[in-house]
């Protein structure tokens, strides 16, 4: 009689482990990668230092303000967003959107990307390297070579399309 209990227990145990095998870790979003690289989206910039006083004036605020604050770029450096060309790979299409402030690349977003584990892992690295280099001269990510090459092609087309 005990064998009849063992079979359902084994089946349910395996069924409970299947979701764990299919789990993929969270990868950083474009905004998180940009923040790590020191690029702050315009909505988060401020030319005023945060106040150490609570809104009710009681003086029990968040503490002393930081020593430095991020300011908006000069008014002469208008942001311009350009879409790169769509590049097809065997794993799926790749297309980037690049934001320039003056001649500097300030943000990169993938409009289209393959829905594969290696691509999801490679995208934050590619974006971070692009923001640091300021060009399309970035290394391919091991395991996502085709996606990396397509990313560079789309990125270079956006840089070329930007004009001056």
pLDDT, tens digit, for every residue of 61-104? 555 555 554 555 555 568 899 999 999 999 999 999 999 998 89
Contact at 8 Å (CB) between 41 and 29? no
Radius of gyration of the chain (CA): 23
Q: Measuring CA to CA, which residue among 50, 11, 31, 33 is closest to residue 125? A: 33
What is the C-alpha separation between 36 and 129, in angstroms, rounded?
A: 11
Is the CB of residue 125 less than 8 Å from the CB of residue 118?
Answer: no
Cα–Cα distance between 48 and 2 in angstroms, integer? 72
> 84 with 97: CB under 8 angstroms?
yes
| pTM flag (> 0.85) | no
Give 21 or 11, the one with higher predicted confidence. 11
Q: Regarding predicted confidence, which is higher, 33 or 22?
A: 22
> What DSSP element (H or E) covers 63?
none
141 token code pair: 């990510």
Strand partners for 61: none
Average pLDDT, the chain: 75
**More confident site: 129 or 5:** 129
Cα–Cα distance measured from residue 128 to residue 32, given in angstroms and rounded to the nearest whole number: 10
Q: Of 84 and 9, which is predicted with more confidence?
A: 84
* Percent of the chain residues topping a pLDDT of 90: 42
Q: Is the pLDDT reported for residue 112 higher than 90? A: yes
State the Cα–Cα distance between residues 26 and 42, nearest whole angstrom.
Answer: 25
- Cβ proximity of 86 and 105 under 8 Å: no
Say how far apart CA 15 and CA 143 lie, in whole Å. Answer: 30
């Amino acid at each position: 009689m005990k064998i009849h209990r063992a079979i359902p227990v084994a089946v349910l145990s395996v069924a409970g482990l299947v979701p764990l095998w299919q789990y993929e870790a969270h990868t950083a979003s474009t905004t998180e990668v940009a923040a790590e690289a020191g690029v702050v989206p315009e909505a988060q910039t401020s030319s005023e230092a945060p106040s150490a006083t609570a809104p009710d004036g009681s003086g029990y605020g968040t503490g002393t303000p930081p020593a430095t604050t991020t300011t908006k770029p000069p008014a002469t450096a208008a942001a311009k967003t350009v879409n790169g060309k769509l590049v097809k790979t065997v794993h799926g299409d790749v297309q980037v959107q690049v934001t320039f402030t003056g001649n500097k690349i300030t943000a990169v977003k993938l409009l289209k990307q393959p829905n594969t584990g290696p691509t999801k892992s490679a995208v934050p690295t590619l974006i971070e390297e692009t923001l640091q280099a300021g060009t399309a001269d970035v290394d391919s990510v091991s395991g996502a070579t085709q996606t990396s090459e397509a990313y560079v092609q789309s990125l270079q087309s956006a840089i070329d399309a930007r004009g001056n």
